Amino acid sequence: MSAPTPGGALGQVERLLTLVPWLHARGEVRVDEAADTLGVDPRQLVRDLKVLLMCGLPGGYPGDLIDVDLDAIEGPDAEGVIRVTNADYLTRPLRLKPTEATALIVALRAVRSSGGPDTAAVVDRALAKLEAAAAEGGATAQQVEVAIEDADLAGLRGQLTDAVTRERQVRLTYYVPARDEESVRVVDPLSVVSSGAHSYLDAWCHSAEAPRLFRLDRIHGAEVLDSPIQARPAAARDLSAGLFEPSESSLRVTMRLAPPAFWVPEYYPVEDVREGPDGSLEVDLLASDERWMQRLLLRLAPHATVVGPRALAERHALSVERTLRLYG
């Protein structure tokens, strides 16, 4: 057995981690023999064993700590033999909890996305074993899948951040929920920003010929191109006030809300809130997309009505009628 490096806290930890499983396999061993095997002075080994007395499982109660028979090592009647008990758990294979396993999966996939081919091969082997062990150890398939998804997002964020740093264009395959479709577009990445629980790519979109925010979990594919970006950001985008930026084309909607929908002005940026005589709330809200507004109104029904504009109220009434017909 190779001898760990003696001296210092690190050397002491290495010796103890080597000594305990070795002693468990041998039963007991003389101090001089153990010291010779570990390549350390016998007096240092005794000092190590006194530290081992204070180690064990969380809790720190007598039944949690490793037991070292010091009477067999020191004293007039000492046999010079090391006996260690209550340390069986150090010889058992490590059993990870589902949260611990998924955290390792996330970290390994992040390493894989930023490493070279040699690193990827090693990480892939470790991931295969870890994902299998996570499933056997109690992690559900959904937990492992969520971990993989989180790791993929971390890898995508790293890829896009690298493109921003190197000022290279990116070809995105992006899911547009308003149209329930994927679109492919070339963008000039300017920065990766966060708001709330989501991260976004702030970029100049050549298809829209305008700046756009792309939510990372809706990016289904990203290819960093060799072509340099053409746009230059005037300043970093400030999302402290939220994602929505009003424009001249924004739709101003006035809604009357019943109490079950009073959460709307707390969740969405509104221009004004007025209390009605019947206890309702009347709010003015700006929307950049009428389709988004229609979905919100259907979600709030029957606790929200459109006060204005009149055309939106009429279209909303037709949308409600068509939706109700689907239920027969």
CATH of the domain at 315: 3.30.70
Per-residue pLDDT at 2: 41
Per-residue pLDDT at 113: 62
Give the integer Cα–Cα distance in Å for 161 and 189: 8
Look over the chain and give the mean of its residue pLDDT values, rounded to a whole number: 76
Decide if 241 is inside a domain: no
Per-residue pLDDT at 169: 93
Q: What is the pTM of this model?
A: 0.40
Task: Note whether 216 and 153 are within 8 A (CB).
Answer: yes
Decide if 245 is inside a domain: no
Residue 323 has pLDDT above 60, yes or no: yes
Q: Are residues 78 and 143 in the same domain?
A: no
Residues 6+ apart with CB under 8 A from 316: 294, 297, 306
Decide if 285 is inside a domain: yes
Q: Are residues 174 and 149 in the same domain?
A: no
| Of residues 92 and 76, more confidently modeled | 76
Decide if 14 is inside a domain: yes
Query: Which range of residues forms the domain containing residue 112?
Result: 98-155
Q: Are residues 103 and 83 in the same domain?
A: no
Give the pLDDT confidence of 139-196 residue by residue, as tens digits. Answer: 554 455 444 555 567 778 888 888 988 999 999 999 876 566 788 999 999 888 876 6
Per-residue pLDDT at 5: 43
Task: Note whether 301 and 293 are within 8 A (CB).
Answer: no
Per-residue pLDDT at 197: 63
Tally the C-alpha atoms within 13 A of residue 154's C-alpha that lie toward its C-beta. Answer: 17
Q: Are residues 87 and 46 in the same domain?
A: yes
Per-residue pLDDT at 268: 74
Give the pLDDT confidence of 191-236 residue by residue, as tens digits. Answer: 888 766 678 888 888 887 777 888 888 888 899 999 999 876 555 5
Task: Note whether 108 and 122 are within 8 A (CB).
Answer: no
Decide if 271 is inside a domain: yes
Section 1-30 average pLDDT = 68
Domain end among 58, 91, 124: 91
Q: What is the domain count for the chain?
A: 4
